Homo-oligomer: A and B are copies of this chain.
Amino acid sequence: MQYVKDLKWKKGIQVKDLVSMLGNTGFQSIELGRAVDVIIKMKKGGAKIFLTFTSNMVTSGLRGLFAQCIKLGMADIIVTTIGGIEEDIMKAYGEKFIIGDFRSNDVGLNEKGINRVGNIFIQNESYMKFESILLPILDELYKKKKRWAVSELFREIGLMLDDKDSILYQAAKNDVPIFCPAVTDGAFGFHLFMYQQDHDDFIVDVVRDFKNILNATSYDDKKGGICLGGSISKHHAIFISLLKGGMDYAVYMTTSHQTSGSMSGATTNEGKSWGKIKDDSDAATVNGDVSITFPLAMISAMERLSEEGLLKGD
């Protein structure tokens, strides 16, 4: 039996010690503590880890932590939406996003060429720069071959980047594939379309990428999922795992709730009806903003794994 304990501050307290206390505090802090345990368990269990996130998280500074997770062996397969890929590339080329406000004058922002994503602002220039970056890349890739699976495109781009905080860069360097089942849903898609206008034999083969993600794990592999937010990123990782027997470990972090019946709000418990998670100690659902809960959980897990020499490159 585990008891609630009074939480108290000590000067200079480290994140790992606070999160350890949070595990005995109450409500979502308890679930956060459980998430840390599941992440450690999936790593120690040798699971192939699916890390999934939505593009707004790459808009945020979580991008750096995602890249670091890949570098340190905390993510073996990435699934995300195309906006995140675009913004990772923009940032690798030096674009900066502005800290703004949820309650902005949006008509005014629009007139200034500023786009709002929650409380982050993206300038139109960043998108224009992205265009000027992507076009020569497509030209180069087209010379190599005409038919590309999406993850192969991303790998090629990752190899061209020079930014250690880039998700694409670290993924390419560490042989971690990045999947994006909706590659056309953003500026990237627009540029692919423009390119195909002049190069009709240029094919982006999403069906072949399905084969690639299916082959990224085997039925015998242990599989873990760290799913941040919802959308197709989360769904794709769960669905693909299912075809290989289901996840053995899962951590879902989301602001959504199961009451809506949506993918973003689906809990690891609902996941049990779909797969093979059987034991409560192998799954945790943390409700809250990923920009806060994910750094807390992942940093705590990495601290503890690092102490045992279980982080890659340690």
Residues of A within 8 A of B (CB): 1-9, 11-15, 18, 21-22, 24-32, 54, 56-57, 59-65, 67-68, 81, 83, 91, 96-99, 101-104, 106-107, 109-110, 114-120, 147, 165, 181-186, 189-190, 192-193, 196-197, 202-211, 214, 229-232, 235-236, 239, 243, 255-266, 269-276, 278, 280, 287-289, 291-293, 295-296, 298-299, 302-303, 306
Contacts and interface: CB of A to CB of B under 8 A. Distances in A.
A31 B260 CA distance: 11
B28 A259 contact: yes
Task: Count this chain's copies in the assembly.
Answer: 4
Contact of A118 (B5, B26, B101, B288): B26
Contacts of A115: 273-274
The 6 closest A-B pairs by CB, nearest first: A26-B60, A6-B64, A118-B261, A28-B289, A106-B272, A182-B182
Nearest to A205: B203
B258 A102 contact: yes
Contact of A210 (B192, B271, B291): B192
